[in-house]
Copies of this chain bind each other. A is one copy, B any other.
Amino acid sequence: VSLPEWFDRDDERTARAVWSRITEPGDRVAVRFVERLGAGQALEAVLGGGTLGAEVAPRWRVRLDSTGPRLDRRTLARFDGRVLVPGDEEWPDGLDDLDDRRPFCLWVRGPLPVGRACTESVAVVGSRASTDYGETMTREIAGGLARRRVSVVSGAAYGIDGAAHRAALAEGGATVAVLACGVDRPYPSGHDRLIARIAAEGAVVSEVPPASSPSRWRFVERNRLIAAMSRGTVVVEAALRSGAIITATQAELLSRPVGAVPGPVVSPASAGCHWLLRDRNATCVTDAAEVRELIAPIGRGEVPARVTPRADHDDLSPTDIRVLDAVPARRSAPFLSIARAAGLDTAEVAAALGRLELSGLIVRIGESWRRAPRR
């Protein structure tokens, strides 16, 4: 078999673009083949039919033969965007953690520098069938992340994903939509205006080439990119069986932190979140600050150990609490009566009464004491 006239073994970028067409996402055999030989030489092996890869090449050749490499050349030339490959400055380095599930390239539309945007990023994902509660929480979290200059990565789906992108855009924040189809082919179609806006202000990315349609398989594999491109994943609302759960599982496989927003137990839309909290040891997150904390290096988070609201007696010693308990609120009581009620010896009670009076919690009336009026 002779090599086509366009073929340039040293053009890694074009070769990777071709690989992204002739394989399906997550084809580990193809990734390992390309990593071993380089994209150009690996493609040459498939095109040329040499002995290298003779056993595995047929699975890729079937597509190369039918769609024709000319299509890929034309697509690349006409593409209103850029193709990122590993090693590019804009390449999101989190993708490298995928090892032999790493995409060959990323097809990108939009002004946002993807790699830099992903250095501080959270995947905010959830069910298409979201509730008002889930959408409210999504706005709170994604909007709060955007205000904290954390990029919001999601899948542009109906429900939680869409609410996450919209909240980030509304705050002027960075947002990345990772599609399961070509970036020129908005899916779902009801989100074509949203996706166009993300392409105008953020970034729309995909590992499958332009004009590709989404498929169940591509949706499943797309989720590994969402997980890998972000520092952590938060599931706001998800039924037990949902793509967001797959994204969380992928994040876990990549040792990325996973957060889940709790919700009413009676809401099936939160059942996946509760499963993550219970069975997958996800972190319970209830606001943007806690989500930010999820991806913060240890010791650099903004959330202090949550302090419970204070009451007057919070600073008191056990002895003082007991003596305060023994001082009546609506009448005054003499010293011995208070000592008896407190069950402490008289010296301790006398000292405690002095401290409580100084704190303004009790008032002395002659030789008796009563509680100070509430402030």
A window 207-225: CB within 8 A of B: 215-218, 220
Question: Counting CB contacts under 8 A, is A191 at the interface?
Answer: no
Question: Counting CB contacts under 8 A, is A342 at the interface?
Answer: yes
A window 299-332: CB within 8 A of B: 305-306, 308-309, 311, 313, 318, 321-322, 324-326
Q: Which of B22, B240, B325 contacts A215 (CB 8 A)?
A: B325
Question: Counting CB contacts under 8 A, is A66 at the interface?
Answer: yes
Residues of B contacting A324 in the complex (Cβ-Cβ under 8 angstroms):
216
Give the complex CA separation of A311 and B242 in angstroms: 11
Residues of B contacting A218 in the complex (Cβ-Cβ under 8 angstroms):
325
Q: Which of B273, B306, B311, B321 contacts A275 (CB 8 A)?
A: B306
Whether A58 touches B346, Cβ cut-off 8 Å, given contacts A275-B306, A278-B290, is yes
Chain B residue at minimal CB-CB distance from A219: B325
Whether A216 touches B264, Cβ cut-off 8 Å, given contacts A284-B278, A343-B62, A344-B59, is no
Give the complex CA separation of A309 and B133 in angstroms: 23
Q: Which of B24, B220, B241, B277 contacts A342 (CB 8 A)?
A: B24
Give the complex CA separation of A216 and B361 in angstroms: 15
A286 touches B308 (CB 8 A): no
Q: Which of B59, B220, B262, B279 contacts A306 (CB 8 A)?
A: B279
Residues of B contacting A308 in the complex (Cβ-Cβ under 8 angstroms):
240-241, 245
A window 322-354: CB within 8 A of B: 322, 324-326, 336, 339-340, 342-348
A133 touches B340 (CB 8 A): no
Residues of B contacting A62 in the complex (Cβ-Cβ under 8 angstroms):
336, 339-340, 343-346
Copies of the polypeptide in the assembly: 2
Chain B residue at minimal CB-CB distance from A275: B306
A217 touches B322 (CB 8 A): yes
Q: Which of B217, B265, B342 contacts A321 (CB 8 A)?
A: B217
Chain B residue at minimal CB-CB distance from A55: B345
Question: Counting CB contacts under 8 A, is A136 at the interface?
Answer: yes
Residues of B contacting A274 in the complex (Cβ-Cβ under 8 angstroms):
262, 284, 286
Give the complex CA separation of A61 and B308 in angstroms: 37
Question: Counting CB contacts under 8 A, is A63 at the interface?
Answer: yes
Residues of B contacting A271 in the complex (Cβ-Cβ under 8 angstroms):
286
Residues of B contacting A43 in the complex (Cβ-Cβ under 8 angstroms):
none
A window 106-159: CB within 8 A of B: 133, 136-137
Residues of B contacting A290 in the complex (Cβ-Cβ under 8 angstroms):
278
Chain B residue at minimal CB-CB distance from A216: B325
Q: Which of B263, B283, B305, B346 contacts A264 (CB 8 A)?
A: B263
Residues of B contacting A309 in the complex (Cβ-Cβ under 8 angstroms):
240-241
Q: Which of B22, B326, B339, B347 contacts A343 (CB 8 A)?
A: B22
Whether A321 touches B286, Cβ cut-off 8 Å, given contacts A62-B344, A240-B309, A274-B262, is no
Q: Which 10 pairs show the lowest CB-CB distances between chains A and B? A: A262-B262, A59-B345, A277-B284, A58-B345, A215-B325, A278-B284, A241-B308, A66-B340, A265-B286, A240-B308
- A to B CB contacts below 8 Å, 26 in the list: A23-B343, A59-B345, A60-B343, A61-B345, A62-B339, A62-B343, A62-B346, A63-B343, A133-B264, A215-B325, A216-B313, A217-B318, A218-B325, A240-B309, A262-B263, A262-B264, A262-B274, A262-B284, A263-B264, A265-B286, A277-B277, A278-B283, A278-B285, A278-B290, A278-B306, A279-B306
